[in-house]
Amino acid sequence: MEKRIETMEKYEKWVDKACDFVDLVGPTINMPAAAMQSDISTALGNDLNVMFLGHDAHEVPKPDYKFDNSDYFKCRCKKGNENWKHRNENNRKGWPIWKNLRDYFIKVYGESIIMDDLDHLVFTNAIFFTGDHITQVLGQIGTSVENRCMGLTRDLIFDILQPKLLVCFSVKDVFDKLIGSIRNKEGFREKIIVQKFKPYHIKHTCAITQVDGTIILGIPHPSGAHGVLASLPAIVRIINDLYKGIEIEKVIATKENNLDTNNRVNQNDFEKIIAIKDKIRKDGTNQWIDTDGMLVHEYYCKGKIQNYIKGNGTISVGLKINNEGNKYVLSVLSRGNHPDKFEKMICDYCNKKGWRKSDNDLLYAVDLITNENEIAEFITSLLKEMKTYRETDLKE
- Compute the average pLDDT of residues 351-379: 79
- Tell me the percentage of the chain whose pLDDT exceeds 90: 41
In terms of pLDDT, which residue wins out, 290 or 67?
A: 67
Say if CB 365 and CB 330 are below 8 A apart. Answer: yes
pLDDT of residue 305: 33
pLDDT band at residue 377 using 50, 70 and 90 as cut-offs: confident
The beta strands (E) that lie in the chain are given as 50-54, 121-125, 165-169, 195-197, 206-211, 214-219, 286-289, 295-299, 314-321, 327-335, 356-357, 363-367
pLDDT of residue 203: 86
pLDDT band at residue 157 using 50, 70 and 90 as cut-offs: very high
Compute the Cα dihedral for 298, 304, 310, 311 and give only its sign. negative
- How far, in Å, CA of 33 to CA of 48, rounded? 25
The yes-or-no verdict on residue 389 having pLDDT over 80 is: no
Sheet containing strand 214-219, strands side by side: 121-125, 50-54, 165-169, 214-219, 206-211, 195-197
* 3-class DSSP string for 277-342: HHHCCCCCCEEEECCCCCEEEEECCCCCCCCCCHHHHEEEEEEEECCCCCEEEEEEEEECCCHHHH
- CA 233 to the chain's CA centroid: 14
Domains detected in the chain: 2-256 (3.40.470.10), 267-393 (3.30.457)
The yes-or-no verdict on residue 136 having pLDDT over 60 is: yes
- How far, in Å, CA of 318 to CA of 216, rounded? 31
Amino acid at 368: L
Geometric angle at alpha carbon 160, from 165 and 26, rounded to 5°: 105
Minimum mean pLDDT range among 113-117, 156-160, 286-290, 340-344 = 286-290
pLDDT of residue 164: 97
- Compute the average pLDDT of residues 313-334: 78
pLDDT in tens, 80-99: 999 999 998 877 677 888 98
3-state secondary structure of 263: coil
> 381: Cβ–Cβ under 8 A, 6 or more apart, which residues?
353
pLDDT in tens, 165-194: 999 999 999 999 999 999 999 889 889 999
Amino acid at 107: K
- How far, in Å, CA of 141 to CA of 148, rounded? 11
pLDDT of residue 284: 60
Q: How many CA atoms lie within 13 A of 87 on its CB side?
A: 20
> 260: Cβ–Cβ under 8 A, 6 or more apart, which residues?
none
Q: How many CA atoms lie within 13 A of 57 on its CB side?
A: 24
- CB environment 149-163: b (16+ within 10 A), e (fewer): bbbbbbbbbbebbbb
Minimum mean pLDDT range among 60-74, 200-214, 217-231, 364-378 = 60-74
Say if CB 184 and CB 226 are below 8 A apart. Answer: no
- Compute the average pLDDT of residues 201-207: 92
- How far, in Å, CA of 5 to CA of 13, rounded? 13
3-state secondary structure of 69: coil
pLDDT in tens, 6-53: 999 999 999 999 999 999 988 888 888 889 999 999 999 899 999 999
pLDDT of residue 290: 63
- How far, in Å, CA of 126 to CA of 156, rounded? 10
- How far, in Å, CA of 50 to CA of 38, rounded? 12
pLDDT of residue 362: 59
- CB environment 253-263: b (16+ within 10 A), e (fewer): ebbeeebeeee
The yes-or-no verdict on residue 161 having pLDDT over 70 is: yes
Amino acid at 138: L
* 3-class DSSP string for 96-126: HHHHHHHHHHHHHHCCCHHHHCHHHEEEEEC
Average pLDDT of the chain?
Answer: 83
pLDDT of residue 101: 92
pLDDT band at residue 311 using 50, 70 and 90 as cut-offs: very low
3-state secondary structure of 220: coil
In terms of pLDDT, which residue wins out, 369 or 273?
A: 273
